[in-house]
Amino acid sequence: MSITASMVKELRDETDAGMMDCKEALAASDGDSKKAVEYLRKKGLSAATKRSSRAAKEGVVTSYIHMAGKIGVMVEVNCETDFVAKTDDFQTMAKDIAMQIAALNPTYIKSEDISDDVLDGEREIYRSQALAEGKPEKIVDRIIEGKLKKYYEDVCLLDQKFVKDTDVTVGTLVNNMIAKTGENIIVRRFARFQLGEDV
């Protein structure tokens, strides 16, 4: 069965698991969303579901400086309690996320942060490219969805492959920490500075 982007988005909204994990769960479950939720729960990736509504007001603001001061990142990662915020695991994850931002320069935290105007513009570009390459109209939508997935992986922090372990996404990294701590964890915001940028 073909797994569509809307199926993935629906499962992601329901479970808060990463996009790639949702796609894998749907593929393993032949597109059955109930079985996919069960699949994610077994892997401990759906633990975020019940916790995503809980307030995450503690956490850390951490920084990462790269290339002897040529690139700097500040990121705020929130959790529910000061106790978890002070653990080595949480601090390491926050530092790893700052390093990820320095290395791969995401534009957004998650795909839901991208405006409809930007997405419509991307879809139009991909459609024009596919038609210019002589691709049949009936498969153009599938090509567009594939290119959008790649676009999310490029520009959305949580969809990027984790630089220290490319078998997982940053979203999976966060969800694993949610499962481990039992707390809601959110990457709230970040800023990245590159020396001489826009000068």
pTM of the model: 0.69
The arrangement of secondary structure in 54-111+156-194, i.e. its CATH architecture, is 2-Layer Sandwich (3.30)
Token pair, residue 113, equals 């942060």
Give residue 40's pLDDT: 79
3-state secondary structure the chain: CCCCHHHHHHHHHHHCCCHHHHHHHHHHCCCCHHHHHHHHHHCCCCCHHHHCCCCCCEEEEEEEEECCCCEEEEEEEEECCHHHHCCHHHHHHHHHHHHHHHHHCCCECCHHHCCHHHHHHHHHHHHHHHHHCCCCHHHHHHHHHHHHHHHHHHHEHHHCEECCEEEEEHHHHHHHHHHHHCCCCEEEEEEEEECCCCC
Give residue 95's pLDDT: 96
Give residue 102's pLDDT: 95
Give residue 54's pLDDT: 63
Give residue 151's pLDDT: 93
The domain spans of the chain are 5-46, 54-111+156-194, 115-144
Rounded Cα distance, 144 and 19, in Å: 17
pLDDT along the chain (199 residues), means of 10: 82 76 86 82 60 73 89 95 93 96 95 92 90 86 90 95 94 93 92 83
Those residues with Cβ within 8 angstroms of residue 4's Cβ, 6 or more apart along the chain or in another chain: 145
Domain 5-46 fold is Helicase, Ruva Protein; domain 3 (1.10.8)
